[in-house]
Amino acid sequence: MKFQVLSIIGHAPHPLTGELPSTADRLTQVVDVGVAAEEFGFDAYAVGERHAGAFLSSSPTVVLGALAARTSRIKLLTGVTVVAILDPVRVAEDYATLDQLSRGRVELVIGKGAEAGHFDLFGLDEEQQWDLQKEKYELLRRLWSEEGVDWEGEFRPALKNVTTVPRPYDGPPRVWHGSATSLNSPELAARHGDPLFTANAIQPRAAYAKLIDHYRERFEAYGHDPARAHVAAGSGGLLIADSHERAVARFKELYEAKVAQSFKPHLEGRAGYNTPFRTIEDAIADGPQLIGSPQQIIDKILGYHEVYRHDLQSITVDAYGQGTGEQVETLQRFAEEIAPVIRREAPSSLWE
């Protein structure tokens, strides 16, 4: 298995202390942690895209560009690029530029995003989100793989003989499809023979397994080689302690305060927005959150692998307002005590 670190660059007051770092300090922290992730042997670092809520990830290309300048090996991903609200020409240009700067280390994860407010912000109808995503993604594919593109669609002006520049570094970057609640993303990924990135962040395991099963079934039905049906999985935050008892004692108040802080009453009842795992005991037992001893976390990831058969596991070390030192310490423990076991037990040929 391969491992990725993801930050959606949350910028809310610490759920217990109320402390809030400056914007500049928070963005610097994200880049510093990305550099540490490369040093500890992680395979990828991802930055989300949010345009609503308490986040600083509205310009992931800029943040990833800063990270590209300070790293040399680690893959640079998004988590997710909200292609439905963006101009595909701009997406093609921005990420091809980043791909050139990083010498081919860029891969996109596209999706509708996890904040309901961004469609209004960009003057778009949320009811059309899946049509927007499909059309804009398929145009992006053509812009990266073809020159002199002629195109007409519903949601942007037609193109005539367009070649976006720069071109990607070494062919079109791989595009994953982020999947959280709907069969639309697995279906689009399967149609084009693309990999799937399951959110695996809030809902019970069975909800994500249903989407992955649909993806694999449709991937083969579209005539693609099942061996190429790569899957990645997120997680709901990483907290490591020496034992289960210490994890509960150390993190219970923090975890439950963060759950309360993040609750979105206006989205109550909509899948994928509010976690049903309200207590830390529930999260450890049944949630996607990686909380507990190293062995507990190993067992949980391998348990997901039995169901998902995923190639890439994403972790998040800043979900609960941790400082830079604590994030780096958590990364190091994961890299030294957890990752080697899982790499051995669940090998993957992704990126090899």
Give the distance from CA 113 to its chain's centroid: 10
230, 311 Cβ separation under 8 angstroms: yes
Closest by Cα among 92, 156, 79 to 124: 156
Closest by Cα among 163, 137, 138 to 150: 163
Other C-beta atoms within 10 Å of 135: how many? 19
Q: How would residue 264 be classed by pLDDT, with cut points 50, 70 and 90? A: confident
Domains in the chain with CATH codes: 2-345 (3.20.20.30)
pLDDT tens-digit series, residues 307-320:
999 999 999 999 99
Question: Among the listed ranges 47-51, 60-64, 113-117, 148-152, which one has the minimum average pLDDT value?
Answer: 113-117
pLDDT at residue 267, rounded to an integer: 73
113, 52 Cβ separation under 8 angstroms: no
Q: What percent of the chain has pLDDT over 90?
A: 93
Mind giving me the DSSP string for 21-69? --HHHHHHHHHHHHHHHHHTT-SEEEE---SSSSB--S-HHHHHHHHHH
Q: What is the dihedral of CA 133, 139, 141, 143, to 10 degrees?
A: -140
pLDDT at residue 15, rounded to an integer: 97
pLDDT at residue 266, rounded to an integer: 76
Other C-beta atoms within 10 Å of 160: how many? 10
- Is the pLDDT confidence value at 272 over 80? no
- Across the range 224-241, mean pLDDT stands at 97
pLDDT at residue 205, rounded to an integer: 96
Mean pLDDT of all residues in the chain?
96
pLDDT at residue 117, rounded to an integer: 77
Kindly report whether the global pTM for this prediction surpasses the value 0.95: yes
- Computed on alpha carbons and rounded to an integer, the radius of gyration of the chain in Å comes to 19
233, 200 Cβ separation under 8 angstroms: yes
Q: What percent of the chain has pLDDT over 70?
A: 100
Rounded to the nearest 5 degrees, what angle is found at the Cα of 286, between the Cα atoms of 203 and 243?
135
- Across the range 190-206, mean pLDDT stands at 96
DSSP annotation of 169: B
Q: How would residue 351 be classed by pLDDT, with cut points 50, 70 and 90? A: very high
pLDDT tens-digit series, residues 35-74:
999 999 999 999 999 998 899 999 999 999 999 999 999 9
- Is the pLDDT confidence value at 29 over 90? yes
User: How many whole angstroms separate alpha carbon 254 and alpha carbon 284?
Assistant: 14
Other C-beta atoms within 10 Å of 157: how many? 10
